[in-house]
Amino acid sequence: MRLCKTINEIGALIKSLRIENKTVGLVPTMGYLHEGHLTLVREARQCCDVVVMSIFVNPTQFGPKEDFGSYPRDLQRDSELAEEAGVDIIFAPEVEEMYPRGFRTSVDVEEITDVLCGAARPGHFRGVATVVTKLFNIVQPDMAFFGQKDYQQVLVIKGLVRDLNINVKIIDVPIARELDGLALSSRNVYLSKSEREAAKVLSRSLAKAQEQVANGVRDIEKIRELVLSEIESEPLARIDYVEIRSIPDLKDLKVLEDRALLALAVKFGNTRLIDNKVLEV
Amino acid sequence: MRLCKTINEIGALIKSLRIENKTVGLVPTMGYLHEGHLTLVREARQCCDVVVMSIFVNPTQFGPKEDFGSYPRDLQRDSELAEEAGVDIIFAPEVEEMYPRGFRTSVDVEEITDVLCGAARPGHFRGVATVVTKLFNIVQPDMAFFGQKDYQQVLVIKGLVRDLNINVKIIDVPIARELDGLALSSRNVYLSKSEREAAKVLSRSLAKAQEQVANGVRDIEKIRELVLSEIESEPLARIDYVEIRSIPDLKDLKVLEDRALLALAVKFGNTRLIDNKVLEV
């Protein structure tokens, strides 16, 4: 496995792969890898000749009061996990390599970034869209792999790729979960033992919503109320949002007529967790 | 010469050129070609195996009260001129092909777009940056050619390419002028005979400024006043802006210490013309 720290370095490597007609798969991450990331790697491994993983804690997608500084980082551990899972090249640039002095360009996907995590984290998706555009241009992958845990992010990136005519196929992969249902996240390490226990309420509430839908409930507000009350039954949980929106436009819905996204963000102590489920009608 | 109207069509063509290892040069235009555009084509012809010209009057770079509707268009004439000058492929999409329903992504280069034409035409450079990003992704050129008449545009595109790590070399080509000095522009056809005569004041005022600099004048305001009074001596001219700014950051200057951009926009009747000169110290 190769570790590249600079754009020139990985650029030269990619160029030589292109000459050999190798297909390239990119797994963009912020590191501190968990089984969710490794699922993406295994998927990429099956589809492409060469698997590139980027590891970059992107400052521009964090708000001023968010956890950029304290976000967990461990490149040594990540390298070992990545190699074991089948990564060929890690691209792990410093912040100055990605955002040199005088950097002033941004990429914005409008409307679908005004809701859910976009409303809760202003500027977050601009940061995501910009860094992903950069990574696509640097790595020039045939395919890129993203987890459905950030479902809105997947929709933003698919929109970006379509609108800007970026020649990359976006593959989204189901959420990886702990045995008790908690969605895997690098931020789970922040949870105290009691918060970790309490956080089980998230996947449980999503499952209950799907049950209601299976039982024929179609009233969006009714389903939403059920999820809210389930989460509110957990004293350590503080709800940021619980919403049900259309796919792929994330529009408001009154009645469930087609598959829709049930998405939520909930804080446990200082740790903000997200989870979601595509409600199938 | 091939004429492509759809992204799929040109995409397939580009793919086959890539397999043959041909280098591709792109000349982005809004059509209604003049000698300035053809100079870009000849430059591209010298540098690249294949020359692609895009012809697209991009609605998103026009303000609501600007001349998008009336902007001159003549694809038949353009095709003949382009072929004669050495274009291999014209890409001339319809608006719906570039901006299908649900389009909602934009690319923004900040700070340098707040001044000069960016201040006078809000949103203009966002439109330019977005469409150029799309064209680069669609055509995947090795090089792209732009005229220095839109000097700020050249700086915006160079910024965009650097910031987003787009793998295209930007070549900027000096302004093509009529024998009497008027910078070539598709908008010159709007000018009445008396306005056309009056418009000579623009290049004359730029030349006088350079003369002053050659004579040792370094006070920015003094040079600017000279240009203003020269243009104001022409009754048909209404000044939009005359400014001298640093290259490449377009910062305010007090004293000329290094080469700097003298840029102006002036209206003659309803026709807004721009011109500029890099003042060499």
Q: Which residues of B touch A134 (CB under 8 A)?
A: 163-165
Q: Are residues B132 and B232 in the same domain?
A: no
Q: Are residues B156 and B32 in the same domain?
A: yes
Give the residue-averaged pLDDT of B171-195: 97
pLDDT tens, position by position, A44-56:
999 999 999 999 9
Contact between A107 and B165 using a beta-carbon 8 Å cutoff: no
pLDDT tens, position by position, B217-254:
999 999 999 999 999 999 999 999 999 999 999 999 99
Contact between B159 and A104 using a beta-carbon 8 Å cutoff: yes
Which is catalytic among the residues A4, A25, A37, A279?
A: A37
Q: Are residues A133 and A214 in the same domain?
A: no
Q: Are residues B192 and B166 in the same domain?
A: no
The per-residue pLDDT for A37 is: 97
Q: Are residues A153 and A40 in the same domain?
A: yes
The per-residue pLDDT for B62 is: 96
| Residue B200 lies inside a defined structural domain of this protein | yes
**How many domains does chain B fold into?**
2
CATH number of the domain at A32, please. 3.40.50.620
| Residue A66 lies inside a defined structural domain of this protein | yes
pLDDT classification of A166: cutoffs 50, 70, 90: very high
Q: Is A124 one of the annotated active-site residues of the chain?
A: no
Contact between A137 and B166 using a beta-carbon 8 Å cutoff: yes
Q: Are residues A116 and A11 in the same domain?
A: yes
Q: Is A34 annotated as a binding residue?
A: yes
The per-residue pLDDT for B32 is: 96
- The pLDDT mean for chain A works out to 97
Q: Are residues A143 and A166 in the same domain?
A: yes
Q: Please identify, among A173, A207, A228, the residue that sits at the C-terminal boundary of a domain.
A: A173
The per-residue pLDDT for B246 is: 98
Q: Are residues B128 and B153 in the same domain?
A: yes
| Residue A34 lies inside a defined structural domain of this protein | yes
Interface test with A, best of B21, B104, B106, B166 (most A CBs within 10 A): B104
Give the residue-averaged pLDDT of B96-119: 97
The per-residue pLDDT for A39 is: 97
Q: Please identify, among B173, B206, B223, the residue that sits at the C-terminal boundary of a domain.
A: B173
Q: Please identify, among A127, A142, A173, the residue that sits at the C-terminal boundary of a domain.
A: A173
| Residue B281 lies inside a defined structural domain of this protein | no
CATH number of the domain at B222, please. 3.30.1300.10
| Residue A280 lies inside a defined structural domain of this protein | no
| Residue A279 lies inside a defined structural domain of this protein | no
Q: Are residues B98 and B220 in the same domain?
A: no
Q: Are residues B148 and B216 in the same domain?
A: no
Q: Are residues A131 and A255 in the same domain?
A: no
Q: What is the domain range of residue A262? A: 186-273
| Residue B206 lies inside a defined structural domain of this protein | yes
The per-residue pLDDT for B276 is: 98
| Residue A117 lies inside a defined structural domain of this protein | yes
Q: Are residues B194 and B112 in the same domain?
A: no
Q: Is A143 annotated as a binding residue?
A: no
pLDDT tens, position by position, A15-61:
999 999 999 999 999 999 999 999 999 999 999 999 999 999 999 99
Residue A204 host element (H or E): helix A200-214
Q: Are A264 and A115 in contact (CB under 8 A)?
A: no
